[in-house]
Amino acid sequence: MQNFTTMDKTALKEEYSKLSAVYADYKAQGLSLNMARGKPGAAQLSISNDMLNVLTDEADFVTPDCPDVRNYGNLDGIDCAKQLFADILGVDKKNVFVGGNSSLNMMFDTIACMMEQGNSGEKPWNQQGKIKFLCPAPGYDRHFGVTQYFGIESVVVPMTENGPDMDIVEQLVSSDPTIKGIWCVPKYSNPQGITYSDETVRRFAALKPAAKDFRIMWDNAYIIHDINGTPDTLLNIFDEVKKTGNEDMVLEFCSTSKITFPGAGVAAMAASENNLALVKKRYNFQTIGYDKLNMLRHVMYFKNLDGVLAHMQKHRAVLEPRFNSVLETLENELGGLGIACWTKPNGGYFVSLDVMEGCAKRVVALCKEAGVILTGAGATYPYGNDPKDSNIRLAPTYPPVEELKKAMAILCICVKMAAIEQLTK
Amino acid sequence: MQNFTTMDKTALKEEYSKLSAVYADYKAQGLSLNMARGKPGAAQLSISNDMLNVLTDEADFVTPDCPDVRNYGNLDGIDCAKQLFADILGVDKKNVFVGGNSSLNMMFDTIACMMEQGNSGEKPWNQQGKIKFLCPAPGYDRHFGVTQYFGIESVVVPMTENGPDMDIVEQLVSSDPTIKGIWCVPKYSNPQGITYSDETVRRFAALKPAAKDFRIMWDNAYIIHDINGTPDTLLNIFDEVKKTGNEDMVLEFCSTSKITFPGAGVAAMAASENNLALVKKRYNFQTIGYDKLNMLRHVMYFKNLDGVLAHMQKHRAVLEPRFNSVLETLENELGGLGIACWTKPNGGYFVSLDVMEGCAKRVVALCKEAGVILTGAGATYPYGNDPKDSNIRLAPTYPPVEELKKAMAILCICVKMAAIEQLTK
C-alpha cells in the first residue's frame, strides 16, 4: 500500500470509506476486547501453580536466621529470600530488603519516607517547599502518580533509544536543587521496551546533583523478562555507583509479580546501607514484617537463580508468539504508510506505538467504540498529557490470542482512519 | 506468707537473703527465657498448617467478582474474603476493605492518609500545626509509636476496669479541637485484657468531638480470642454509631495474625463508605492490590465464621493451661503479699502485672540478669514513660511451657526482691 502522506485527498477519502465499512462490520459484532494493562495471561499464571503447594514439611519453617517463618519477625525478610533477590539483582544480600507483594507499594513507602524523614542530612522533602521529580516519558503512569500524590511536580524528560536524554538529565539535575529524583525503568522500559545503554547507566552513576538528597528510583521491573532469543543486557548500576562514590543515590526495586503471580508475588529493594537504615526507621513503625511464608514458598520453588531463569523461559514461550503476532500485524497493516512507528522490544510487557501527531486520542476513541479497550491516550505522560497526542501503549500479554489478533486488526483500521481524518482536514 | 508491707525491716532483710540465694542459683544456670512479645507458640502455629495446601484446583481461582485471583486487581480485596471479615466483625461487607498481611500496617497507612489528605472537609492533619492523640494506658506500644512517628503528641488517658476513663475522654475530646483521635483495643485490651463495658462503647459512640476530623482507631485485634469458658462480650460499635449518626468517627481493624499465621495472615478494616472512599484515594496510588491468593486460602480453609470460631477453640486449648499456670504462680507466690496485683483476662495475649510503685524497672532488670526477658518496663505507656514505674506486661503464649514456668518462678522472686529493696530503703 502507498504511503498515506503522499496520496491526494480523493484517494484518501476513497480509502477511508473502505475502512469505514470494515470498521462498521467489527462494531456490529459488539466485541469486548482489552489490550489496556500489562497483566500476564491465563497461561502464564498457570506456569507457577506448583509453587502454591511446596510448603508441606514443618522442618522447612526453620531457617538459619529465623526460628519459625510462620511467626512474627524479620522486618527486612528472611535470609534465603534476600539471597535469591541479591542473585537476581547482582548485589550483595546485605543490601537487600525483601518486602510485601508489591514493588509499587515499596516505592510509594520509600517516597513517603523521604517526604517525612528526609535523607543525607537534608530536611524532609515535605518541609522543603516546592520540589520536583524527573519523569522520562513516555513512561509508567503509576510512577508519576506516586510522586504527584505527594504533591511533587513532574518534569518531563524525553526518552531516546538509549534511555532518558542524558544531556537534559545532567543539565537539570546539576543545576536545580529542587529536583529530588528521577523515575527509571532501565530495562525493557514501560512502554517502549528500551534498555538503557551502558553510556546512559554510566552517566546516571556519575551524576553530580545540586540536591544532596537526590535519589534515582531504579525500577528494574523487567530485569529478567526477555521475550525472544536476542535479549538486551543492562549494566549493573550498583557496580557503577561504587566507582563514582554515589552509592546512596540509587534505590533499586523489583518483584516476582510477573515471574510468579501478580499481586501474590514478593517485592524487594536494593540500596546502600545508609538508605536501608533510613527506610527501616519508617518500616519499624509501619509493620512487624512481611509475609515470610510467601518468601519461603518462592525460594523453595525456585531454589536459586538458575531456577528462576529456567522459569522465565516458560513465560517467554507464551509471550514470544504474542509479541510476534502484534509486530507482524503492525508491519503488514501499517508498514510503509508513513502514519505510525512502533518499538520492537526484546523483553518487557509492551509495544509502544506512535501514531500521527494529534491522532492518539482519536485512535483510542475509535477503538473503544468498536469494543477494543486500549490504555488511555496520554497515560504514558505525567498528568496524562502527551504533548504530541501520538503515543499509545499496547499490552499484548493478557487477552487470549484470537482476541488479541482481532483487537490488533481493529486497532490498525482505527490508526488509518484517524490518520486520514487528519490528512484530509 | 505474711503481707510484706506489715513486716519489719529485719524480717524483710532475712527474707531478702533467702530470695537472693534462690535467685543466685537461677542466675548460675545461664538461662535464656523470653516472655516479652505477644507471639503465638509453636503448637499454635501448627494448628493452621493445613491452610497452606488448600489451593490445588484452578477452578477455585475464579470468583464471582474476580476473573482470576492470581492476577492483578481488586484493590479492596475479593468478595468472599470481605464477607468472612464482615461476619467476624458484625458489619456489612460493603464496609470492609481487605488488605495485606498486617493490621498495624493498615493503621499506619490510615494515619498517613489523614496526615496527607485530611477528612470531613478539614485540612490534612500535617497542615494543622500541633495535633494530639489520646492514648489509653497501659496500652499497645506500637499504636503509640505510629502516631508519634508522624509527630502527633500522645496524651495519656488512664484505663479503668471498664475501658478508658470516659469522663476524661469526653472532657478532652469535646473541648480540644487539636485532639484528632484515640487508640483503642476494645476487647481483651493489650496488656490488661480488659473488655470495654457496654456503657463505655455507647459513650464512645456518642462522643461530640470539638474536631470534626476526630477518629477512633478501634483495633479489635482480639475480637474472637477467648482463652477460657467465660468469654467477654463487646458491644458492636458500628451498631451504636448508627444510632448516634457518628458513622464516620470509627475505623475498625482486625487480622488473622493470631488466628492463622502472624505475618502471613490477612488484615482488614471496617469503616463508613465516606472513610473507605477516603483511604482508597491513597491506596489507589500506593498499590494495585493485596495478596488475593492468601485471602482465598483463608476463605477456602475456614469456609465461614463457624469455621473460624471452631479454629479458635484449638488456640484456646493451647492457651488456657498457659494462662492458668501464670495466674496460679502469681497467686501462689505473690498472693496476699501486698506488693503486686494483676489482671485475670478471659482472652487476648497478656497478663498485666502491677508491682509496687517505683519497682517495675528494677524487676525487669533483675529478671534480665537472671536470663528472663520481659517487655521493657514503661513500654505500655506513651514515650515509654510509666509515671508510677509499676506496670509489667507478661506474654505467656510464646515460650515452651517448662520455660514459662521457670520464667514465672524467677519473675516472682524478682518482684519480691524489688519490693523488699523498696520497703527497706
Determine the Cα–Cα distance for residues B350 and A386; give it in Å rounded to an integer.
58
pLDDT at B1 over 80: no
* Nearest alpha carbon to residue B179 among B217, B210, B145: B210
**By the CB < 8 Å criterion, does B58 face chain A?**
yes
Question: What mean pLDDT do residues B129-139 have?
Answer: 98
Please tell me if residue A416 touches chain B, with a CB cutoff of 8 Å. no
Contact across the interface for A290 and B58, Cβ inside 8 Å:
no
Residue A306: per-residue pLDDT: 98
- Of the pLDDT bands very low, low, confident and very high (cuts 50, 70, 90), residue A196 is very high
Q: Is B403 on the interface with A (CB under 8 A)?
A: no
Asked if B70 and A288 come within 8 Å (Cβ–Cβ), the reply is: no
User: Counting one residue from A and one from B, how many pairs have CB atoms under 8 Å apart?
Assistant: 140
| Mean pLDDT of the B377-394 span | 96
The Cα-based distances of A295 to A283, A421, B257, B361, B380 in angstroms read 18, 53, 17, 38, 32
Q: In this model, does residue A360 exceed pLDDT 90?
A: yes
Handedness of CA B326, B328, B331, B334 (dihedral sign): negative
Q: What confidence tier does B263 reach under pLDDT thresholds 50, 70, 90?
A: confident
Q: Does the CB of B294 have a partner CB in chain A at under 8 Å?
A: yes
Is the pLDDT assigned to residue A385 strictly greater than 80?
A: yes
Give the contacts of A177 (CB within 8 A, at least 6 positions apart): A209, A210, A211
Assess contact for A231 and A84: CB atoms under 8 A. no
DSSP string, A303-372: -SHHHHHHHHHHHHHHHHHHHHHHHHHHHHHHTTSSSEEE---SBSS-EEEEESTT-HHHHHHHHHHTTE
Task: Give B311-333 pLDDT, tens digit per residue.
Answer: 999 999 999 999 999 999 999 99
Determine the residue among A288, A290, A296 to mutate to test chain B binding: the one whose Cβ has the most chain B Cβ atoms within 10 Å. Answer: A288
> Rounded CA gap, B66 and B62, in Å?
6
Q: With cut-offs at 50, 70 and 90, classify the pLDDT of residue B20.
A: very high
Q: What is the mean pLDDT of residues B11-30?
A: 97
Cβ distance A70 to B126 less than 8 Å, yes or no, reads: no
Rounded to an integer, what distance in angstroms lies between the CA atom of residue A193 and that of residue A195? Answer: 7
Percent of chain B with pLDDT over 90: 98
Given a cut of 90, is residue B72 above it in pLDDT?
Answer: yes
Q: Could B42 and A68 be called an inter-chain contact, meaning their C-beta atoms sit closer than 8 Å? A: yes
**pLDDT at residue A260, as a whole number:** 98
Q: What is the dihedral of CA A340, A346, A349, A355, to 10 degrees?
A: -10
Could you tell me if A58 lies within 8 Å of chain B, comparing CB atoms?
yes
- ipTM of this complex: 0.97
* Confidence (pLDDT) at B37: 82
Q: Which amino acid is at A258?
A: K
In chain B, positions 124-153, which contact chain A (CB-CB < 8 Å)? Answer: 126, 142, 145-146, 148-150
Across chain A, what does the average pLDDT equal?
Answer: 97
Cα separation, B90 vs B308, in Å, equals 14
**Inter-chain contact B263–A46, Cβ cutoff 8 Å?**
no
Q: Is the pLDDT of residue A373 over 90?
A: yes
What are the tens digits of pLDDT across the range A232-289? Answer: 999 999 999 999 999 999 999 999 999 999 989 999 999 999 999 999 999 999 999 9
Q: How confident is the model over B176-195, as pLDDT tens digits?
A: 999 999 999 999 999 999 99
pLDDT tens figures, A230-239: 999 999 999 9
* pLDDT grade for A37, boundaries at 50, 70 and 90: confident
How far apart are alpha carbons B374 and B391 in whole angstroms? 11
| Beta-sheet pairing, B250-255 with B215-219 | parallel
Q: In this predicted structure, what is the pLDDT of residue A2? A: 86
What would the mean pLDDT of A142-150 be, rounded to a whole number?
Answer: 98
Averaged confidence pLDDT in chain B = 97
Q: Which residue of A has its CA nearest to B142?
A: A285
For residue A376, which amino acid is it? G
Distance CA A108, CA B286 (A): 6
Cα radius of gyration rounded to whole Å, chain A: 23
Task: Give the mean pLDDT of A329-350.
Answer: 97
Q: Rounded to a whole number, what is the distance in Å from the CA of A237 to chain B's nearest CA?
A: 26
pLDDT of A1 higher than 80:
no
